[in-house]
Amino acid sequence: MQRELRSANEIERSLQRTRAPTSRRGAGRGAFALGLVLAAALAGCASPQPPLEVVDEVDLDRYLGRWYEIASIPQRFQRGCVASRATYTARPDGRIGVLNECRDGSFDGKLRRAEGVAWVANPEESRAKLRVQFFWPFRGDYWIIQLDPDYRYAAVGHPSRDYLWILARTATLDPMLYRDLSARLEAQGYDLTRLRPTPQPPAP
């Protein structure tokens, strides 16, 4: 655990040394992305857990596109975020472009953005276990642990179970589907009392 904490602190110091002075807006983007990196590093500090299962199959071409955050286990790097969403795009090098966005404090707040790249960690093992990177050389796990057959919703987690995002293709998810998904996540060992809904703007 101490080694992981030192690693996270080294990441933060390294980024602080290399980050040039920016505007307030630019600093907000940097802090958002920095939080994603530190979360990936600190995940290793969690106590050992039983193996977390991922979905058997995932068609990454179908997985591409925009996803809205329905609920999550709150993280410091997302503090103040509303209207959170992620957009995944195919890259010429075969990897996946990642764009995370949210509004700061309100639906009319400043747009916060973090861009990164993701790839399948071991194609021979599972295409549901990805790695994501926002700053070189620091990387984190992105595991697809639940996925609707029609790709209407998904759940992304980490083997520590300290990180969880429920995503959907629309800004809302049918309550019955949400309850069913929540029950399956609880069966996978997640503490649902930590889960919080993500505010999304009302439909026009």
| Token pair in block for residue 105 | 């404090």
pLDDT at 49: 65
In eight-state DSSP terms, residue 29 is H
Separation in Å, CA 161 to CA 9, 68, 74, 80, 149: 22, 20, 12, 22, 23
Specify the DSSP class assigned to residue 168.
E
Structural domains of the chain in order of their starting residue, each with its CATH number: 1-204 (2.40.128.20)
pLDDT tens, position by position, 133-173: 987 777 899 999 999 999 999 999 999 999 999 999 999 99
CA separation for the pair 43, 25 (Å, rounded): 28
d(CA 188, CA 51): 9
b/e string for 181-194 if b means 16 or more Cβ within 10 A? Answer: bbeebeebebeeee
CA-nearest of 143, 163, 155, 138 to 38 is 138
Q: What is the mean pLDDT of the segment spanning 45-57?
A: 79
Percentage of the residues of the chain whose pLDDT score is greater than 90? 68
CA distances from 133 to 15, 22, 28, 92 (A): 14, 22, 18, 17
Residue among 113, 111, 117, 112 at smallest CA distance from 135: 117
Closest-CA residue to 156 (of 185, 122, 114)? 185
| 88-129 residue pLDDT tens | 999 999 999 999 999 999 999 999 999 999 999 999 999 999
* pTM for this model (two decimals): 0.76
